[in-house]
Amino acid sequence: MADEAKAKGNAAFSSGDFATAIRHFSEAIDLSPNNHVLYSNRSAAYASLQNYSDALTDAKKTV
């Protein structure tokens, strides 16, 4: 299930729909909270929307 949400997030991100990408990555994180890649992906989506505070919060969870 998390992989499916991640794939949807990646597709949304690739098409420039960053808000939808965040929604899908958040769903994936709910299903797999220890997967650092999901936080990295969501961080990139937040940064793409110039939401640097949330991007940094997620980025810190990847290390």
CATH number for position 26: 1.25.40.10
Instruction: Quote the pLDDT of residue 23.
Output: 98
Rounded-to-10 torsion of CA 5, 11, 16, 21: 0
pLDDT at position 42 is 98
Please tell me the predicted confidence (pLDDT) of residue 63: 87
Q: Which domain holds residue 16?
A: 2-60
User: Cβ neighbours of residue 50 under 8 Å, at least 6 residues apart?
Assistant: none
Cα 52 from chain centroid? 13
pLDDT along the chain (63 residues), means of 10: 97 98 98 97 98 98 92
| pLDDT score, position 31 | 98
Counted domains in the chain: 1
